[in-house]
Amino acid sequence: MSATIHSIEAILVDIPTIRPHKLSMTTMGVQSMVIVRIKDSDGLEGLGEATTIGGLSYGPESPESIKLTVDTYFSPQLIGQAADNINTLKVMLGRSTRGNNLAKSAIETALLDLQGKRLGRPVSELLGGAVHRHLPVLWTLASGDTEKDIHEALGLIETRRHCDFKLKIGSRALMDDVRHVAAIKEAVGESASVRVDVNQAWDESTAAKGMAELQAAGIDLVEQPTPMKDFASLVRLSEKFHLPILADEAVADAKDLYNLAAAGFSGAVAMKIAKAGGPAQVLEQAAVASAAGIGLYGGTMLEGTIGTAASLHAWSTRETLHWGTEMFGPLLMKDDIVVKPLNFHDNGVDLPQGPGLGIEIDEDKLAVYRRKG
């Protein structure tokens, strides 16, 4: 008889960032995450994580709402169910609850981690097997200060921790942003790829001017220049410029990507397990992208180590990640809640080894950063 789900706990955790992280819609000084712990009737435990970027300023789910969803709506349905039939549990949650993909992603991750530990196999094997054991990782330069960003980039290139960089822009006047980006690209030269993330801050005419300037400055990729549901502008801009566009907020799941590709979009997609509803769910999106000739990029919600590891297990199963990954979330935080942090080196990160996610909670650190009250 298979083990059943015995308990589910959703824990709010707040960890300060190493520096203010500036987005077009907010500036983050603390990363808040929801750690989900699912225990089965045999005493095994699976870990999951749901994390937002900047809370409700970014999207419709907050850390607090994720915890409420898991505690109030998901747990009563899941407790007592067979822990190993993950697809049945996903279908059940999908029928009872619309949206809430971040919360669903944490549950799917924890169930996969639990199954991997039960079988003695890594999550990547449950998803078909790892093609890569070391994945490239870029770094986001988001201080907003040109000289600080240049100094940071050059230091990271020298130590071989990162050789690709993304700049968060969109909160300032267009040409101020362009000058900031162009100066950094000039400073790093051909030794690094430089991309920008506008986080939906431009309208189409501003985006057209901005992309022309960025294309001339040698920028490699522009992420989500226009609002998330304005599919038509992304299509028109992708047809107008040879500078590729990375669709992020516009694409949550495989159906969104299909609709965007069918409308004529060419470029790349930022896959995120949180947006899609989990590691297995996001690979459906990857299959659609590959069929449509759209490039793949392993995106992040700035997750901690648990969510980052879950993403890496998914990304490792793809033959080609055309634009690499941005799984640097743990490096942005001043501390960690796991026993053994991820190994970042040689411009990337190693896929964790061992059963499940290959991650173990540090109970003392969790107690320190767990939200009180």
Which of 90, 168, 185, 272 is labelled catalytic?
A: 168
Quick check: 214 and 181 in contact, CB under 8 A?
A: yes
C-alpha count within 13 angstroms, C-beta hemisphere, residue 9 = 10
Which of 49, 108, 152, 326 is labelled catalytic?
A: 326
Contacts of residue 325, defined as CB under 8 A and 6 or more positions apart, other chains included, come to 135, 136, 137, 138, 297, 298, 299, 300, 311, 312, 315
Query: For the chain, what percentages of helix, strand and coil (3-state, to nearest 5) are there?
Result: 40, 25, 35
- Our answer to whether residue 326 is catalytic in this structure is yes
Q: Where are the alpha helices (DSSP H) in 43-164?
A: 63-68, 75-78, 86-96, 101-119, 123-126, 146-158
Helix axes 101-119, 86-96, angle to 10 degrees: 170
The length of the chain, given as a count of residues? 373
Phi, psi torsion values for 196, nearest 5 degrees: -130, 150
C-alpha of 342 from chain center: 16
Active-site residue set: 168, 326
